[in-house]
Amino acid sequence: MKRLLRPRRPLIGLMTAALLATPLFALSPAAAAAPAPALIPKPVSQQTLAGETFTLQSSTAVSVVASADERAAATKVAEQLSAQLRRSTGFAVPLANTGAIRLSTDGASSLGAEGYQLRVDRTAVTVTAATPEGLFRGVTTLRQLLPAKADASTTQSGPWTIAGTAISDSPRYAYRGTMLDVSRHFFSVAEVKRYIDLASLYKLNKLHLHLADDQGWRLQIDSWPRLATYGGSLEVGGTPGGYYTKADFAEIVRYAGERYLTVIPEIDTPGHTNAALASYADLNCNGVAPALYTGTNVGFSSLCVGKAVTYSFLSDVFSEIAAQTPGDIVHLGGDEAHSTPHADYVTFLNKTSTIVAGTGKRVMGWHEIGDTALPAGSIVQYWGTDDTASRDLARLAATKGATVVMSPANRAYLDMKYNKDTPYGLSWAGLVSVEKAYNWNPSTLIPNLPASAVAGVEAPVWSETLDDIDKVEFMAFPRLPGIAELGWSQPSALNWTAYKDRLAGQGSRWDALSVNFYRAPEIAWR
């Protein structure tokens, strides 16, 4: 039932006729000889269609072919494309029954949920996928095929020409994420949306939000209201913090969902919990609430493992969070519990992972949880720095059936400084150049971890030193697209020298999008 709304294809449409009437020799030699555009992530296969170009015209429309159950979502993808092209080209770019830009979900299911095919020739741009999500991924490729100024938010002048190409594409890993730490510094809904917009351009599909840490609790919890109202009141440095109301969080989840990013909420436990302990005295073993904390130390706080209230608290919190999370993963933290004796840590995690699993969600936690009972379907997030202890925990988790998401701190932590002169960021995991962030293989980084256990990659952005989204952009760009490529592209496509050249081509795009990116001098930005 994929053909319900297939538009009748006229033998020759008006636009098609106009384009066919353009003699071949009218193509400028430059356009005809244009190199294949520099796509990130690199597609599985891309062929140049010599002599073919498509030029968006003031009359170009977008058409959607989708079955009834996919029509609304596919139309949303078309509307997003159309809205962006309207902003930058000044053309109407309407949705219509027939259009030279065609989005169709009648693609083969062998493409997978995220795969797509894209063909650009002189008559049409056609994106074909098996699902609206696949269409969305294909549209992100289409945006990169267009001139960079097509990403601008104000009207630019054309021409809007795309070199002829045939692309077939699908991801290497199912999990391709980034994390934003909204606890150390709070980020407004608008800032989170901006980050979602940028992450979605590189085909990432998970947005992990680190919602609670020592410095702030950032999500309204009705059953424990002081967590947000008091525990969220400050941030690092003592400036006012903030929290997301349930409506705010729903808006983030909705906005991310429309860009095919699933939100993974994290409440870090049993350590990194000063904000909760400060909000409710009863959660402390000694019954005394500590002061709010606005420094950047770690490892000093712990929930009280022996108290029953700890687990009724966690049960309340995780069930409210699960109810607001359409995705199937909830993250319970588990890292750096240096103030929790190890036996207590294991007792605590075994109870808490059971609570999370009881909400119907898959448990995700940092690699320290590898040492605890892992409910079926658990995901362990490796954040080691090539050290044996961290690798052992990831391997142990895999032997218990968990999958591993790779976030090696010395490669994928985007809050690490690029070099010693980077104005913000940290360096405890080392300096992470653009090359270092890109030049590794998620499936072979941990020796003797079966490649089949690797679910994918995630690039966390911790915010101890980052107090606004401009600084987050500076740390994430240009490194985030590299992690995105590790997650999407085939290992045979990964090559620093070739990547560096494709990356250089993103600079003008980021200028058009007003991204505050780090102009790494080793990249020949164009």
Active site residues: 336
Give the whole-angstrom CA distance, residue 129 versus residue 20: 27
- The smaller minimum CB distance to ligand ACM, of residues 184 and 509, is found at 184
- Binding string, 381-400, against ligand ACM, x = CB under 6 A? --x-----------------
In terms of Cβ atoms closer than 10 Å to its own Cβ (0-12, 13-18, 19+), residue 321 is buried
Give the whole-angstrom CA distance, residue 210 versus residue 320: 16
- The smaller minimum CB distance to ligand ACM, of residues 105 and 407, is found at 407
Beta strand pairing status for 175-181 and 206-213? parallel
Residue 385 Cβ, how far from ligand ACM at the closest point, in Å?
Answer: 10
Q: Tell me, what amino acid is at 135?
A: L
Nearest CA-CA partner of 212 in 291, 265, 287? 265
- Beta-carbon neighbour count of residue 507 at 10 Å? 20
Residue 413 Cβ, how far from ligand ACM at the closest point, in Å?
Answer: 7
Residue 119 Cβ, how far from ligand ACM at the closest point, in Å?
Answer: 43
Nearest CA-CA partner of 173 in 383, 405, 390? 405
Residue 494 Cβ, how far from ligand ACM at the closest point, in Å?
Answer: 25
- The smaller minimum CB distance to ligand ACM, of residues 134 and 425, is found at 425
Residue 296 Cβ, how far from ligand ACM at the closest point, in Å?
Answer: 12
Tell me the helices (H) and strands (E) count for the chain, helix number first: 17, 15
Residues 6+ apart with CB under 8 A from 398: 380, 404, 449, 450, 453
Give the whole-angstrom CA distance, residue 212 versus residue 267: 5
- The smaller minimum CB distance to ligand ACM, of residues 253 and 380, is found at 380
- Which positions from 59 through 78 interact with ligand ACM, judged by CB under 6 A? none
**Bridge partner residues of 265 (DSSP):** 209
Residue 169 Cβ, how far from ligand ACM at the closest point, in Å?
Answer: 32
**289 alpha-carbon distance from chain centroid:** 36
- The smaller minimum CB distance to ligand ACM, of residues 248 and 336, is found at 336
Q: Tell me, what amino acid is at 276?
A: A
Give the whole-angstrom CA distance, residue 222 versus residue 276: 14
Residue 320 Cβ, how far from ligand ACM at the closest point, in Å?
Answer: 24
Token reading at 409: 């701190």
If binding is defined by CB under 6 A, does position 335 make contact with ligand ACM?
yes
- The smaller minimum CB distance to ligand ACM, of residues 133 and 335, is found at 335
Q: How many residues bind ligand ACM (CB under 6 A)?
A: 4
Residue 335 Cβ, how far from ligand ACM at the closest point, in Å?
Answer: 4
Residue in the shown chain whose Cβ atom is closest to ligand ACM: 335
Residues 6+ apart with CB under 8 A from 303: 269, 270, 273, 276, 277, 283, 310, 313, 314, 340, 348
CB 213 within 8 A of CB 272: yes
- Which positions from 345 through 374 interact with ligand ACM, judged by CB under 6 A? 366
Give the whole-angstrom CA distance, residue 443 versus residue 406: 9
- Binding string, 214-233, against ligand ACM, x = CB under 6 A? --------------------
In sequence order, which ranges of 201-269 are alpha helices (DSSP H)?
A: 226-229, 246-258
Nearest CA-CA partner of 411 in 435, 387, 395? 435
Single residue of 121, 251, 258, 336 touching ligand ACM by CB under 6 A: 336
- The smaller minimum CB distance to ligand ACM, of residues 335 and 473, is found at 335
- Binding string, 287-326, against ligand ACM, x = CB under 6 A? ----------------------------------------
Give the whole-angstrom CA distance, residue 13 versus residue 61: 12
- The smaller minimum CB distance to ligand ACM, of residues 54 and 366, is found at 366
- The smaller minimum CB distance to ligand ACM, of residues 172 and 391, is found at 391
Residue 333 Cβ, how far from ligand ACM at the closest point, in Å?
Answer: 8
If binding is defined by CB under 6 A, does position 202 make contact with ligand ACM?
no
Please say whether the dihedral angle defined by the alpha carbons of residues 411, 414, 416 and 419, taken in this order, is positive or negative: positive
If binding is defined by CB under 6 A, does position 213 make contact with ligand ACM?
no
In sequence order, which ranges of 27-157 are alpha helices (DSSP H)?
A: 29-32, 68-89, 132-145
Residues that bind ligand ACM (CB under 6 A): 335-336, 366, 383
